Structure 1
Amino acid sequence: MSQITTILRGAQKAYETPVLFQSAGAWVKSALAEAGFREGVIETAGDNVLLIGAPCPELTAAEYQRLVQSHLAIGADFTVFAAHMPPRDAADSITRIAPDTVPVVCARTEALAALPDGDLIAAVNQAISAGKSVEVVLAEPVVPVVDGVSAFEAQKRLCARINMRHIAAGVQIFAPDSVYIAPDAVIGAGTVILPGTIIRAGCVIGSDCKIGPNSLLEHAKVGDRTSVNSSQVYESTIGADATVGPFAYVRPGCNVGNKTRIGDFVELKKAEIGNGTKVSHLTYIGDATVGERVNFGCGTVVVNYDGYHKFHTYIGDDCFIGCNTNLVSPVKLGDRVFTAAGTTVTKDVPDGALAVARARQTTLEGWNDKRRARMEAEKADKK
């Protein structure tokens, strides 16, 4: 194939407009790179040039290649994409192409002198009037992105295309109109995507998972048969046969093992969670390495920050962390450690030990009955 140089024309703002997790220009450049074309300037007079007057995120690499191959085979000055054949004169030459023709044109560099700046399709029509030859390659209609409205329309069509591709591959999506999946996401067969789910760039989801409802994943890896319910996972890995949520927040840098439970209102950050560990509810674990088969009671907090520095916590296998335990970093708990409810741990705990760090309970019998009687008497005196 002859050398093809790609030139992006049109308003820069259009190329920067967001369309489904990336810019309209990024969609175009990705397709062009996949097609083997390069963006740049014309270097030799023999080049053929691919001109793009406005970004069309829906166009694939194969469609760009089809246009160029047709152009080289036809040998016209200009070859354009169009949804309908334009009118021809008695000599079978195209007399004018429609203003709504896709603004993607393949041209011979010798013909570019006849192509003024401005609207690409209008410029091609001016070249036709100047005697240049134009041919058309029929294509499905696409939406060029020129403003926010057209970006929204293009996004809807791309969402539908991506979702249908996953459905065809065995993914079940209950409400495709409410699910947004990035183009590079990998999802295994048998996985169910529930309404309100957003799967952003860099996600790899295994087979037979359940994602959603109302979940957001970004650069997340999720193992087979894992569920993520009404939760958010960022730049982290969740193992197989795990459950996350509802209302869990997995921040960047986490590695959660197999058969784990990350429950409601649990927040993780830079945490290594071993296989079989359960963090069921209302707990924060940050900058920590947690072993296998650990059970966290409700309200546990890893106290990892002193206002200036972050510190690490280590928890061994088979530990039982009682409710409302504070683990003040840096601290290390050995294997099989038990912390009593309400304990604040500030020192390392050896294997198999019980850690208790709370004030001893004092009971004053009858104290509250006397207080209630006094308060009721005061209340009666004020009437």
Structure 2
Amino acid sequence: MSRYAIILAAGQGTRMKSKLYKVLHPVLGRPMVQHVMEQLKAVQLNEMVTVVGHGAEKVAEHIGDQSKLVIQEEQLGTGHAVIQAEELLKDKEGTTIVVCGDTPLIKGETYQALFEDHEKTGAKATILTAKAPNPTGYGRVIRNAENEVERIVEHKDANEAELLVEEINTGTYCFDNKALFSALQQVSNDNAQGEYYLPDVIGILRNKGEKISASVTGDFEETLGVNDRVALAQAEMTLKKRINEQHMRNGVTILDPTNTYIGPDVRIEQDVLIHPGTIIKGESVIKTDAEIGPHTEIVDCSVGEATVIRQSVARNSQIGSRVQIGPFAHIRPEANIGDEAKIGNFVEIKKAVIGDKSKVSHLSYIGDADVGENVNVGCGTITVNYDGKNKYLTKIEDDSFIGCNSNLIAPVTVGKGSYVAAGSTITKDVPGDSLSVARARQTNKEGYASKIKNRKKD
């Protein structure tokens, strides 16, 4: 049977009080609507349609060709939003799931179970429901004496008896596709809000004698809809806990899960140790026996086996095995750090290759550079890569030794096995196996200090 999805993402999100389009607010670094789309992949859809309103172009930038877009010019309710997809889907046979773009916590397994329950029962509509400890604000699922779903009543339209019902509508449904669009033609806006409610389709189908079913999720927390910054923070905490627990069950040691933030696309192998205050985002990969943190941020990096990164920041870089980084190092994009290298405190690496077993131990800037193997870069060394207009390459070949407080004015090459004396400013290539000294000659004027002191007294 064919499967389709309609994602409702047209709400302006005024309660977010933000310039950012509501469904683009990130949860653990990924926009809410993207979480929904990723989880829907579990049900192997034939087609996906996203209903957007103001800011449609921003949503399109994020979702690309993952979904077709239709625009709801006026926000006249959820039923009106679904009608916007009519031209794309109305004649298709199969099942359509309708989900909200601000529900980033619903799992792929939950969507799959909803489809299976719907298709198994042969219902024209199946509602994803949950038991809410405090159902205030939610639409209530009203059942008849035979425990069959009869209708959904919005909170503002519910009477006293209906308000006591704990089973709530999560806003996610599966429908027979043709029955959905046929029933939508009969939905009216005769209600407290003057809107066209999608849940009214349930009553319309029921009055026609069609079967209505419910698929109850046991995890109310995953059905959270994000309407303001408070709910956004709740979603972040819930997803963070879910992801951290999954990694721990897979053999990762997270010393303080409450203060560890791991993105949904991160892959971590077993026996990795993560200290408090660590943030790992993007498509980072952390290999076995690595030790990360405390207070370290890693974004879109590959980190090799048994590498240790402490109190540092690394982005868009490749980091080898048994590397020591930090504390307080900054690995900027396009760095490639070889095995057994050392990047020490207050060192910045940018768009540079650091060869195996090379050391940049402290207080240095290595940018636009190709550093070979077994190179020692002394404290305070700078590759001077920028002339105000263009960037240039510094090359330091294998087994070289760069003395402290050296400036290497690019483009320049230090040959294999060479030494650069401390305090040198190198402007020309250094041949292999050479010592290069480029500093002013020292002059000592004996007794001159006394003259300076006496002059100050006068």
Classify the TM-score, shorter chain. over 0.9
Q: Distance in 2 between matches of 1:90 and 1:230?
A: 62
1:226–1:240 CA contact under 8 A, matched in 2: yes
1:128 CA displacement? 6.2
- Superposed displacement of residue 146, structure 1: 2.8
Contact 2:202 2:212 in 1 (8 A): no
Query: Which residue does the alignment assign to 1:136?
Result: 214
Is it true that 1:82 corresponds to 2:129 in the alignment? yes
Q: CA deviation at 1:62?
A: 2.0
Q: Which amino acid in structure 1 is aligned with residue 398 of structure 2?
A: D
**Kept in 2: contact 1:295–1:320 (CA 8 A):** yes
CA shift, 1:87, in A, is 4.7
Q: Distance in 2 between matches of 1:30 and 1:170?
A: 24
Given that 1:19 and 1:151 are in contact with CA atoms closer than 8 Å, whether structure 2 keeps it comes out as yes
User: 1:16 Cα shift?
Assistant: 1.7
1:9 match: secondary structure:
strand
Which residue is equivalent to 2:7? 8
The unaligned stretches of length 5 or more in structure 1 are 379-383
Using a 3 Å threshold, how does the CA distance of structure 1 residues 123 and 146 change in structure 2: closer, same or farther?
farther
How far residue 145 of structure 1 moved from its aligned partner, in angstroms, is: 2.3
Mapped to 1, the partners of 2:270 and 2:403 lie a distance apart of 39
Matched, 1:22 2:30: yes
The DSSP-based 3-state class of the residue aligned with 2:346 is: strand
User: Which residue matches 2:89?
Assistant: 42
Residue type at the aligned position of 1:232: V
1:42 Cα deviation after fit: 0.8
The aligned counterpart of 2:273 is 192
Q: Does 1:114 align with 2:191?
A: no
Q: Tell me the distance in 2 between the aligned counterparts of 1:22 and 1:54.
A: 13
CA distance in 1: counterparts of 2:352 and 2:229, whole angstroms: 40
Which of the residues 350, 358, 362 maps onto 1:269?
Answer: 350
Counterpart in the other structure of 1:254: 335
CA distance in structure 1 between the partners assigned to 2:293 and 2:197 by the alignment: 44
Instruction: Give the letter for the 2:212 counterpart.
Output: V
Q: 1:314 to 1:10 in 2, by over 3 A?
A: closer
CA separation in 2, counterparts of 1:151 and 1:238? 33
Question: What is the aligned residue count?
Answer: 376
1:103 is paired with a residue whose SS is strand
Match of 2:408 in 1: 327
Instruction: Return the offset for 1:32.
Output: 1.3
Q: 2:107: which partner in 1?
A: 60
- CA 1:90–1:191 in structure 2 vs 1: closer, same or farther (change >3 Å)? closer
Higher relative contact order (CA 8 A, sep 6+): 2
**Deviation readout 1:209-235 (Å, 9 max, x if unpaired):** 111111111110000111111111111
Q: Distance in 1 between matches of 2:288 and 2:94?
A: 47
**Residue type of the alignment partner of 1:88:** R
Take 2:92 and 2:396, find their aligned partners in 1: how far apart are those partners? 69
Between 89-98 and 342-351, report the one with greater CA deviation: 89-98
> % of aligned pairs identical?
38
In the TM superposition, what is the alpha-carbon distance from 1:240 to its structure 2 partner? 0.7
Which residue number in structure 1 is paired with residue 173 of structure 2? 105
**Code of the aligned partner of 1:108:** D
Alignment partner, residue 361 of structure 2: 280
Partner of residue 204 from structure 2, selected from 127, 134, 143? 127
Alpha-carbon deviation of 1:88?
2.8
> Could you say if the C-alpha distance between residues 54 and 253 of structure 1 is closer, same or farther in structure 2, counting changes exceeding 3 Å?
closer
Alignment partner of 1:300 out of 376, 381, 404: 381
Q: State how far apart, in whole Å, the 2-side matches of 1:248 and 1:72 are.
A: 55
Task: Give the superposed CA RMSD.
Answer: 2.0
State the AA in 2 paired with 1:4. Answer: R
Instruction: Pick which of 293-302 and 121-130 moved more.
Output: 121-130
Q: Structure 2 length as normaliser, TM-score? A: 0.78
Q: In structure 2, the residue corresponding to 1:107 is in which secondary structure?
A: strand
SS in 2 for 1:372: helix
Cα distance per residue 1:44-103 (max 9 Å; x no partner):
342321111343222222221111111011122210111249553245432344754211
Partner Cα separation in structure 1 for residue 329 and residue 421 of structure 2: 25
Which residue in 1 is equivalent to 2:72?
none
After alignment, is 179-188 or 119-128 more displaced? 119-128
Contact 2:250/2:270 (<8 A) preserved: yes
C-alpha separation in 2, matches of 1:54 and 1:313: 49
Distance, in Å, in 2 between the alignment partners of 1:17 and 1:364 is 67
TM-score (norm. length: structure 1): 0.93
Give the aligned residue type for 1:93: E
Distance change in 2, residues 1:125/1:109 (3 Å): closer
d(CA) in 2 for partners of 1:6 and 1:160? 28
Stretch deviating more after TM superposition (145-154 or 276-285): 145-154
Counterparts of 2:258 and 2:306, CA distance in 1? 24
Unpaired segments ≥5 residues, structure 2: 12-20, 50-87, 132-139, 155-167, 190-194
Identify the match of residue 226 of structure 1 among 266, 287, 307.
307
Q: Which residue, 67, 72, 93 being the options, matches 2:148?
A: 93
